[in-house]
Amino acid sequence: MGAVYSPELDNIKIFISPSRAISRMKTVVNRDGKVAAIREDAHKPVREAWSAAVFLLGYSQITNHQYWLRENPVKNEAPDIFSISILPPFQDEKGVKREILEIEVCDYDEHCKLDLVDHIKEKLGGKAYNPFTLLLCYVHKQGEARLIDLINGLKETKTSVREIWILFHPGQDINGEFAISRVFLRDPGIDVPCHYEGNYRQLALIPQQEMIKTSRGSGKEINFVPMGIGYVPLPIVKKK
């Protein structure tokens, strides 16, 4: 039986590269200011896409796949982000295939009163997620936490998500430096390294199609066909 993905995926026609998602957040900051970019509810999808984009740049170095993403077109519905990777067909198939990741994003910032383990458990809150969902927690609260303590604190968690990752900035200098670590894995059959550190500004310079519209086709190779200029509008904050 094939996997059943969230139906909102069918309503997404254009996916953007992680570097484009990062650039969109920068545009919001320049246009509306850092405070509005971080706090305004209208910009929440752009913020979540930024977190997912930085994660995917690191994850791509682990898997050797390139990823594209888009926010969920239905606001406040899980998952927050859909991501795809275009892969060659199996030997006995025709037409390229796409690997799909559904990413749920949460923040751990200065306003959070719980410790990180309890914060993640509260986010999961007994909710039902598709079994291939990744929960990504962006940690930007000052302090220290040992990865082994997070892993031990989450290992008995009852959840349908496949993996839990944290995104954080090692040290005080966050000029593009980031790290991702997996702290929970429900499927032990997944053979993917669980940690990566790098600089997302440098990784964003790796050549990648900025926007794609997928089509399975019937060939054996992945081909990118120019289709003109794509436009994905940014949200507008209503003036009070």
The domain limits of the chain are 7-212
Cα(188)–Cα(194) distance, integer angstroms: 12
Contact 181, 147 (CB under 8 A): yes
Q: From the CA atom positions of the chain, what is the Rg in Å?
A: 18
Contact 130, 4 (CB under 8 A): yes
Q: Look at residue 181 in the predicted model and tell me its pLDDT.
A: 96
Cα(181)–Cα(59) distance, integer angstroms: 10
Contact 167, 137 (CB under 8 A): yes
- Give the H or E element holding residue 57: helix 44-63
Each residue's pLDDT tens digit in the chain (240 positions)? 345 677 788 788 889 999 999 999 999 999 988 888 888 888 899 999 999 999 999 999 999 999 999 999 888 888 999 999 988 776 776 666 778 899 999 999 888 899 999 999 999 987 889 888 999 999 988 877 889 999 999 999 999 999 999 999 987 666 899 999 999 998 777 777 799 999 999 999 999 988 888 765 555 555 555 555 666 777 777 665
Q: Look at residue 111 in the predicted model and tell me its pLDDT.
A: 86
